[in-house]
C-alpha cells in the first residue's frame, strides 16, 4: 500500500478504520526523510523519539475507543518559525541558534489539541525574509522538481517536504507570499487566510515572546489537496484566548456548490509586472477549460480604480513598515539616514524599504486610508464576482541565488532582467487588502516545472476560494509527485 502521497483526509480515515497505525505511518515518513531528505534539506529539526511516543499513545487511545480529535494520530511537520515546546526555534537567525521554545505557538497547539503528531520542523530563510529558503544554521533547501532551483520562501521547506512526500500536512505563514510562492514552486497547495483569522502568538518573527499581530501577516496551511487545506482551516481559525471571551469565528459556506455556478474574473498578466509566457499560457488554458465547463469568466473585470502597480506600491510600503518591528536600533538608524539622504526620485528597493521601515505614523495612517479604499473597491467587486484568478508570481522556480544584498539581485522573465523584489507584486495586491487566497497546481511547463494559479476570494469568505480550488483539482488533476519521488 503506497501511503506517501495520500491526502491527510485519506490517512486519517485509514487510522480510524484500523488500516494503518499512527506509529506505522510515522515510521513511513521517517524512513523517507532519512533516505531522501539529505538531497533536499527540507526537514531541518527532527523530533522523532517524542513523536514515536505520542503516536503509540494515539494508537493505544484509539484501541480504547478514545478520539483525540479530527487529526488523531496524524504525523505532520510545521514551519521552523513556529514555537514547539522543547524544540529549537531560530527562524534561521544565528543569534537565535540556541533558543529553545518552552511553549507551543497558538496555531501549533490547536493542531496538537486536534490529535496531530508533530515530528519535525521545516526550513526557512533568515527571519523568514526571503523568497528562497536558506540560512547559516540549516543551509539551503532544494526544490524536489529540480535540485538546482529554489522551492521558494519563506515556507520553502514546508512546500518541498510536501512535494517530496515527507509529510501529509504543513503549517506555514505568509506576509509576502510565503505560503503561496513555495506552494506554486513545488506544485502543492497553500492557503493564505483572511487577515486576523488565526492568532500569531508563538511565531518568529516578531521576537520570541512577542504578542503583536503584524499587519498583513497570516498563519495558514499547506497540503497536497484543497480538501486538506479546508480541514486544517477548520481547526486553526478562531480568536486568541484574550479575545475568545467575546467572540468566535464561523466562516460562511462557499458561495456555490457547482463549478458552473461560479462567477470568475481573470487577471492573467499586467504591464506593471509582466508574467513569464509559459505561466500565462497555462492560465489561459485553464480559462479555456473553465469556459468549456460552462463557467462564466471575465478577463477584463477589475475592481474599480485598482491598478496592479499602484496597489503594489501601497502594499510594499505597508509591508516594510510591518517588517520593521524589532529591527535593532543601529539598523533602524542606518535606514533612517538612507531614507533622508536618498533623492526623492530614487526608487531602488533598498531605499524603498528604508522609507517604509522608518515611516512616520501620520504617514502610515494616510497609507492605511488608501488601503481601506482599496478594500472597499474589492468588496464592491465581489458583489458581482466570486473569485479572481491570477498568477501567484511572475516567474517560474528559479536557480538558487544567494548573492547579497537582495535588493541588487535580478530575475529574468521573458528574457528581460527585472528587480528581484518584483516577485512580491502578484501576491501583494490581494495581501494588502487582507483577502484570502488559495494556490493550487494547474499544469507544468514544457521543461516539467509546476505552474500554479492564485484564487483570491472575498474577505472572511475563505471557504469560497477553497471550494473553487477543490473543483479545479478535479478539472486539472491536482498534485502530481515530482519525478523520482
- Is 175 within a domain? yes
Q: pLDDT at residue 347 above 90? A: no
Residue that is last in its domain, among 348, 374, 400: 374
Q: Evaluate whether 387 touches 465 at the Cβ level (below 8 Å).
A: yes
H runs (alpha helix) in 75-225: 106-113, 156-163, 180-186
Question: Cα 25 to the chain's mean position, in Å?
Answer: 25
- Is 283 within a domain? no
Q: What is the pLDDT of residues 54-82, one digit of tens each?
A: 999 999 999 999 999 999 999 999 999 99
pLDDT score, position 56: 98
Q: Which of 81, 111, 87 lies closest to 100, judged by CA? A: 87
Beta strands in 359-405 (DSSP E): 387-390
- Is 38 within a domain? yes
Q: For residue 196, give Cα distances in angstroms to 110, 213, 214, 343, 462.
A: 16, 8, 9, 37, 12
Catalytic residue annotation = 79, 154, 178
pLDDT score, position 344: 87
Q: How many domains are there within the chain?
A: 2
Shared-domain flag, residues 93 and 167? yes
- Is 388 within a domain? no
Residue that is last in its domain, among 323, 357, 374: 374
CA R_g for the chain: 21
- For 213, what's the count of Cα atoms within 13 Å in the CB-facing half-sphere? 12
Residue 168's CB is within 10 A of a number of other CB atoms, namely 27
Shared-domain flag, residues 306 and 254? no
Shared-domain flag, residues 370 and 416? no
Q: Evaluate whether 374 touches 439 at the Cβ level (below 8 Å).
A: no
Q: What is the pLDDT of residues 89-106, one digit of tens each?
A: 999 999 999 999 999 999
Helices first, then strands: H and E counts in the chain: 14, 15
What span, in angstroms and rounded, lies between the C-alpha atoms of 21 and 59? 6
Could you give the percent of the chain with pLDDT greater than 90? Answer: 95
Q: Evaluate whether 482 touches 185 at the Cβ level (below 8 Å).
A: no
Q: What is the pLDDT of residues 157-176, one digit of tens each?
A: 999 999 999 999 999 999 99
- Is 385 within a domain? no
Shared-domain flag, residues 174 and 85? yes
The helix or strand, by DSSP H or E, that contains position 263, with its residue range, turns out to be strand 263-266
pLDDT score, position 364: 97
Reported confidence tier of residue 233, pLDDT bands at 50, 70, 90: very high
What span, in angstroms and rounded, lies between the C-alpha atoms of 180 and 164? 17
pLDDT score, position 52: 98
What span, in angstroms and rounded, lies between the C-alpha atoms of 276 and 292? 25
Indicate which CATH number applies to the domain containing 159. Answer: 3.90.1300.10
Mean pLDDT score of the chain, rounded to an integer?
97
What span, in angstroms and rounded, lies between the C-alpha atoms of 122 and 95? 19
Q: pLDDT at residue 1 above 90? A: no
- Is 285 within a domain? no
Reported confidence tier of residue 229, pLDDT bands at 50, 70, 90: very high
Lowest mean pLDDT among 5-9, 107-111, 208-212, 452-456: 208-212
- Is 325 within a domain? yes
Shared-domain flag, residues 58 and 187? yes
What span, in angstroms and rounded, lies between the C-alpha atoms of 50 and 324? 36
pLDDT score, position 405: 86
Strand, helix or coil for residue 129 = coil
Strand, helix or coil for residue 98 = coil
Query: CA dihedral defined by 439, 77, 14, 437, rounded to 10 degrees?
Result: -20
Q: Evaluate whether 108 touches 9 at the Cβ level (below 8 Å).
A: no
Shared-domain flag, residues 223 and 362? no
Residue 59's CB is within 10 A of a number of other CB atoms, namely 18
- Is 407 within a domain? no
Q: For residue 176, give Cα distances in angstroms to 280, 308, 335.
A: 21, 15, 20
Shared-domain flag, residues 114 and 192? yes
Q: Which of 115, 87, 141, 133 lies closest to 8, judged by CA? A: 115
What span, in angstroms and rounded, lies between the C-alpha atoms of 193 and 430? 11
Q: What is the pLDDT of residues 392-438, one digit of tens each?
A: 999 999 999 999 789 899 999 999 999 999 999 999 999 999 999 99
Q: For residue 42, give Cα distances in angstroms to 141, 235, 406, 430.
A: 6, 25, 22, 28
Shared-domain flag, residues 215 and 359? no
Residue 339 domain boundaries: 302-374
Shared-domain flag, residues 432 and 322? no
Q: pLDDT at residue 305 above 70? A: yes
Shared-domain flag, residues 324 and 425? no
Residue that is last in its domain, among 324, 357, 374: 374
Query: CA dihedral defined by 402, 404, 407, 412, rounded to 10 degrees?
Result: -40
- The residue-averaged pLDDT of 294-319 equals 97
Q: Which of 236, 185, 231, 223 lies closest to 6, judged by CA? A: 223
Q: What is the pLDDT of residues 17-53, one digit of tens each?
A: 999 999 999 999 999 999 999 999 999 999 999 999 9
Shared-domain flag, residues 312 and 436? no
Shared-domain flag, residues 189 and 308? no
pLDDT score, position 183: 98
Q: Beta partners for 92?
A: none
What span, in angstroms and rounded, lies between the C-alpha atoms of 465 and 469? 6
Q: pLDDT at residue 120 above 80? A: yes
What span, in angstroms and rounded, lies between the C-alpha atoms of 338 and 356? 11
Q: pLDDT at residue 195 above 90? A: yes
Amino acid at each position: 500500500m503506497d501511503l506517501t502521497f495520500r491526502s491527510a483526509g485519506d490517512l486519517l480515515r485509514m487510522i480510524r478504520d484500523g488500516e494503518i497505525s499512527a506509529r506505522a505511518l510515522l515510521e513511513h515518513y521517517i524512513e523517507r526523510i532519512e533516505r531522501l531528505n539529505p538531497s533536499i534539506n527540507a526537514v531541518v529539526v527532527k523530533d522523532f523519539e517524542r513523536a514515536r511516543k505520542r503516536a503509540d499513545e494515539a494508537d493505544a487511545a484509539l484501541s480504547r475507543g478514545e478520539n483525540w480529535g479530527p487529526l488523531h494520530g496524524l504525523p505532520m511537520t510545521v514551519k521552523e518559525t513556529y514555537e514547539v515546546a522543547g524544540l529549537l526555534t531560530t527562524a534561521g537567525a544565528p543569534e537565535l541558534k540556541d533558543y529553545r521554545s518552552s511553549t507551543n505557538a497558538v496555531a501549533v497547539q490547536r493542531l496538537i489539541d486536534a490529535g496531530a503528531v508533530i515530528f519535525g520542523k521545516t526550513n526557512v530563510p533568515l527571519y523568514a525574509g526571503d523568497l528562497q529558503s536558506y540560512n547559516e544554521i540549516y543551509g539551503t533547501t532544494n526544490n524536489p522538481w529540480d535540485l538546482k532551483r529554489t522551492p521558494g520562501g519563506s515556507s520553502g521547506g514546508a512546500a518541498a517536504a510536501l512535494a517530496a512526500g515527507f509529510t501529509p500536512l504543513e503549517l506555514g505563514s505568509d506576509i509576502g507570499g510565503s505560503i503561496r510562492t513555495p506552494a506554486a514552486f513545488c506544485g502543492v497547495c497553500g492557503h493564505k487566510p483572511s487577515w486576523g483569522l488565526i492568532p500569531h502568538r508563538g511565531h518568529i518573527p516578531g521576537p520570541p515572546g512577542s504578542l503583536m499581530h503584524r499587519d498583513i501577516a497570516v498563519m495558514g496551511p499547506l497540503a497536497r489537496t484543497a480538501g486538506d487545506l479546508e480541514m486544517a482551516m477548520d481547526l486553526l481559525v478562531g480568536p486568541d484566548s484574550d479575545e475568545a471571551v467575546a467572540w468566535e469565528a464561523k466562516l460562511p459556506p462557499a458561495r456555490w456548490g457547482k463549478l458552473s455556478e461560479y462567477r470568475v474574473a481573470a487577471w492573467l498578466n499586467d504591464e506593471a509586472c509582466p508574467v513569464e509566457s509559459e505561466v500565462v499560457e497555462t492560465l489561459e488554458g485553464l480559462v479555456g477549460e473553465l469556459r468549456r465547463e460552462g463557467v462564466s469568466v471575465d478577463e477584463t473585470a477589475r475592481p474599480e480604480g485598482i491598478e496592479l502597480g499602484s496597489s503594489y506600491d501601497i502594499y510594499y510600503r505597508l509591508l516594510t513598515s510591518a517588517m520593521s518591528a524589532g529591527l535593532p536600533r543601529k539598523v533602524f538608524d542606518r535606514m533612517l539616514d538612507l531614507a533622508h539622504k536618498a533623492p526623492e526620485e530614487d526608487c531602488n528597493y533598498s531605499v524603498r524599504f528604508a522609507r517604509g521601515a522608518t515611516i512616520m505614523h501620520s504617514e502610515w495612517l494616510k497609507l492605511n486610508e488608501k488601503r481601506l479604499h482599496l478594500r472597499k473597491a474589492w468588496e464592491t467587486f465581489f458583489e458581482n464576482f466570486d473569485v479572481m484568478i491570477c498568477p501567484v508570481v511572475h516567474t517560474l522556480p528559479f536557480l538558487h541565488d544567494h548573492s547579497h544584498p537582495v535588493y541588487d539581485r535580478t530575475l529574468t522573465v521573458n528574457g528581460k532582467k527585472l528587480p528581484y523584489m518584483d516577485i512580491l507584486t502578484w501576491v501583494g495586491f490581494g495581501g494588502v487588502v487582507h483577502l484570502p487566497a488559495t494556490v493550487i497546481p494547474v499544469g507544468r511547463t514544457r521543461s516539467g516545472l509546476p505552474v500554479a494559479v492564485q484564487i483570491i476570494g472575498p474577505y472572511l469568505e475563505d471557504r469560497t476560494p477553497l471550494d473553487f480550488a477543490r473543483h479545479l483539482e478535479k478539472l486539472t488533476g491536482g498534485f502530481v509527485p515530482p519525478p523520482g519521488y
